[in-house]
A and B are shown apart, each in its own frame.
Chain A
Amino acid sequence: MTEPSPDDQLELQRKAKGKRPFYFSNPDVDKLLSMIMALTGELAIARDRIDTLERVAETKGLFSSDDIENFELDANALQARADRHRQLLREVNRIIVGELEDLEGANEEDYTAVVEQVEQDDT
């Protein structure tokens, strides 16, 4: 299957004309909620695809959902998974972990002080 390059793809208007209302006292909450729902949708799609995969596999006589339920991961596989989870969580929570690192003292200098320093270091 050949996919058209992004440059060739005609793009439809994606924002409806008309001012977008926001509901929470801080509109950032609306924006975050919208992003969470979009992500929830994509999660549902991924789960649906796995569901289809299992059903196709069963139809084709490859394996069944029960085979997946009863599959036992060995220690290496469990460790690989745990490492992947840890990596994912670090990436997702980067901003919070970063703050903690600042708090621990590695980068606790006041940013404005740094600006002042670099602006004035030729005097």
Chain B
Amino acid sequence: MSAPYAEQKIHNALPKTNHDELSRQHFVRSFKEHIVESLHPGLKLAYEKRAKPQYVAKHQREPGTIQEVGEVMKQDQHYQAWSSLLRTSQEMMWSSTQIPVERAIADLAANATDNTLGSLTLDPQLDIPSYHTAVDIHCQPGGYHTEYIEGDVAQGAIYDRAVYLYAMGQMGSNNADMGDSTVAWLKQTHPEFSPSRILDMGCAVGHSTLPYATGYPAAEVHAIDVAAPMLRHAHARASAMNSAVHFSQQNAERTQFEDESFDLVVSHILLHETSSAAIKNVISECYRVLKPGGWMLHVETPPYGDMEPFDQFLFDWDSENNNEPFWRKSHQLDLDALARNAGFTNEVLQTMVPSSFQETQRTNTFQGGDFGGGGVWFVYGCQK
């Protein structure tokens, strides 16, 4: 790659890493780049030369579905090696980010309480939804919600660093590309839009939240998540980065915010981590809390739609292999109907928004293990 090596911008809410811990993390990034650059292209070759001809010989037609591609690809030795390595890279990513946090867990928790900007409101009574607890999403041991000590931030601090490694730095030095890209698109397409209250649903550690606070400095920015460790870290991180955001522990399916109290409601890679029932509730909740004229925008990876069956199969890898049980279904939904049923009547927006990060650093494909590399983001939404 010609672009200079871009390290994550390190802030005070992250643990100190010693020489070897940092090296271990950088190796994971290199390992993931190797998989993307050197092994991923071979999948198409293996499919065309080996797997597809096998399927055609047996069925006298080409595979037409994810399952049919899988029938032959899962037997292919290159697919097996690629999958095995990709899964391993994911496990090594979490391990490499856990090590420094495990060592510093008490200090991180103590440091996270000293924040002067914005606010943090936790609700220890909030039920963690079953779509979070059934499996640990994208293989983070303990998921978003596990707490080891009082005031714990561990899962948030781990996630913060892991996202940088997962994206191989391709979401920018603050992992903010989804927020940055959406704000840039909003300002370009709706320059007159000036939200005074913004809500980010499923904010995790606030990677995508802060661009809204920066982009609309006059707005009051709220961000919610079900997981307390994420929110504690998010608040500490936002403060460390001099950004005032009001974080609260709430479920996006049913918040405590008043009707028609926001001009802009956003989410980033939230919808695919919910469920069939929950996603309907989330869209309805967006409608309820939006003021008339306000915008709902959900940033995701693109629906499978017209993709070739082979591309769908690869893009679908996370469903079965990275603990993303709702990934497949969420990419096959009737998004128009979802908005209509929630009460939206305006034209439903489904568009690709260019990444605000340098195009040259991206792989320009959506693929298992590199959904941040597409160079574009899919935005789904509607104006109330």
Contact = CB atoms under 8 A, between A and B. Distances in A.
B257 interface: no
A60 B108 CA distance: 34
B323 interface: yes
12 contacts: A12-B141, A12-B142, A12-B154, A16-B139, A23-B74, A23-B83, A30-B87, A33-B81, A42-B24, A44-B30, A45-B20, A49-B19
A41 B31 contact: yes
A48 B95 CA distance: 19
A78 interface: no
Interface residues of A, number: 29
B139 to A, nearest CB: 4
B148 A10 contact: yes
Contacts of A10: 102, 105, 148-149
Contact of A37 (B74, B85, B142, B320): B85
B28 interface: yes
Interface string B116-141: 00000000000000000011100111
B27 A41 contact: yes
A40 B142 CA distance: 26
A19 B44 CA distance: 27
Interface in B40-84: 74, 79-81, 83-84
A21 interface: yes
Interface in A70-115: none
B354 to A, nearest CB: 33
Q: Give the interface SS of chain B, mostly helix, strand, loop or mixed.
A: helix
A8 to B, nearest CB: 11
Contacts of B323: 16-18
A16 B81 contact: no
The number of chain B residues touching the other chain, given as a range, is: 35 or more
A5 to B, nearest CB: 13
A21 B320 contact: yes
Interface in A4-63: 9-18, 20-24, 29-30, 33-34, 37-38, 40-42, 44-45, 48-49, 52
A33 B83 CA distance: 11
Contact of A41 (B24, B85, B135, B321): B24
Given A17-B141, A41-B96, 16 more contacts: A9-B103, A11-B102, A12-B102, A12-B141, A16-B91, A16-B140, A17-B135, A17-B143, A22-B84, A23-B79, A37-B85, A38-B92, A41-B27, A44-B23, A48-B19, A49-B20
B312 interface: no
Contacts of A40: 27
Contacts of A41: 24, 27-28, 31, 92, 96
Contacts of A15: 141
B146 interface: yes
Contacts of A37: 31, 85, 88-89, 92
A44 B19 CA distance: 12
A22 B79 CA distance: 12
A52 B148 contact: no
- Give the residue among B74, B148, B320 with the most A Cβ atoms within 10 A: B148
Contact of B136 (A17, A22, A44, A48): A17
B327 to A, nearest CB: 13
Interface in B174-214: none
B112 interface: no
A22 B321 CA distance: 9
Nearest to A47: B23
A11 B149 CA distance: 11
